[in-house]
A = this chain, B = another copy of it.
């Protein structure tokens, strides 16, 4: 069974999506690429690219990131090489935590951080 869906998105999410779409579009135009060209290079349809540039929340994140990468919009970091470093650092922090957090501790927990 599946709900009728029609999901809700926070303002932050919608703004972020609108922003990334605009950035992709701007970068594409600056590079003199047509929507069709970018779509082909990214490996998907022009239709999808247009939805991405419009900030459609349902687009697959892989497609969005792929388009962004091609036109040179850097995700997260202005500095691409740091991506792997960040990944490793994150992995390190995860390793410090208990192997599996299966249970929520019922002892008093200071939850504010």
| A79 close to B (CB within 8 Å) | no
**Across-interface contacts of A23 in B (CB, < 8 A):** 90
Known: A7-B44, A80-B12, A90-B26. Is A65-B111 also a contact (CB below 8 A)?
no
CB nearest to A80 among chain B residues = B12
* A16, A23, A57, A66 pick with most chain B CB within 10 angstroms: A16
Given A59-B60, A61-B61, answer yes or no on A83-B29 (Cβ-Cβ < 8 Å): no
Chain A interface residues toward B at CB < 8 A = 7-10, 12-13, 15-20, 22-23, 25-26, 29-32, 34, 43-44, 57-66, 69, 75-76, 80, 83-84, 86-87, 90-91, 93-94, 97, 101, 104-105, 109, 111, 113
Supplied contacts A12-B83, A32-B104, A60-B61, 14 more A-B pairs, CB within 8 Å: A9-B65, A15-B83, A18-B87, A19-B83, A19-B87, A19-B90, A22-B94, A57-B61, A57-B65, A58-B60, A60-B60, A61-B64, A75-B76, A76-B76
